Amino acid sequence: MEIKVVRRVLAANEAVAAENRAVFAEKGIFVINLMSSPGSGKTTTLEKAISRIAPSIPTAVIVGDVCTTNDAKRLARAGVPVVQITTDEFGGDCHLAAHVIKAALAQIDLDSIHFLVVENVGNLVCPAEFDIGEDLKGVVLSVTEGEDKPLKYPQMFRVCSFALVNKIDLLPYLDFDKDAALANIRAVNPAMEIFEISARTEQGLDTWIRWLEDRVRAKRRGR
């Protein structure tokens, strides 16, 4: 019974995600949906990446949290439009659903942007289930979280096209087996594009940014 209800919610979500996707295609906007555990470093990563991307590619951000608007304030420092969603208003949802994104899009001038970044609620489980109409899903895995997370949260790692292995500046102080972590990611998703980064020291950030920018430009050319 509970499972039937969940299926109905997901089917309704797919329909709205398809509407969002049609809008993004028409406007030529490339969209990523970035997910992770709480505290993996999504906001710091985006703050640093967007301040490098925005001068050449007009960008906007939608950021989801259960509560507080701290992340929106931090991301606004990158000088781009930011829409904060606090899911408290939607019953404390643990993920961003397509209809919530659709409502947020009304607050963005879609003709003026080429790239839209969605920072999802910090949660390795539920957001993986909800398509929002994005081009690519990505997951941030902090090296402080342990090597086993891809195996323990396989759905998340399966639906994502890229993974940012973050906080690599802390590797000397941890018992973290990076090769095992990468092998676990590939065991769940052999096609995953993996970027090793430190948002704090900015190591590895440029490689990921170039990869993203290529995809933003390809979508605009393909219109």
Residues binding a copy of itself (CB under 8 A): 2-3, 5-6, 9, 37-39, 65-68, 70, 91-92, 94, 121-126, 129, 142, 144-146, 148-149, 151-155, 167, 170, 173-175, 200
Q: Are 24 and 98 in contact, with CB atoms under 8 Å apart?
A: no
Residue with tokens 């701290």: 70
User: What minimum distance in Å lies between the beta carbon of 141 and a copy of itself?
Assistant: 8
Q: By C-beta, is 16 or 29 nearer to a copy of itself?
A: 16
User: What minimum distance in Å lies between the beta carbon of 13 and a copy of itself?
Assistant: 11
User: What minimum distance in Å lies between the beta carbon of 37 and a copy of itself?
Assistant: 4
Q: What is the crossing angle of helices 2-27 and 98-105, to 10°?
A: 30
Torsion of CA 37, 115, 25, 17, to 10 degrees: 20
- Count of other CB atoms within 10 angstroms of residue 192: 18
Q: By C-beta, is 57 or 121 nearer to a copy of itself?
A: 121
CA distance 223 to 187: 35
Q: By C-beta, is 155 or 161 nearer to a copy of itself?
A: 155
Q: By C-beta, is 2 or 179 nearer to a copy of itself?
A: 2
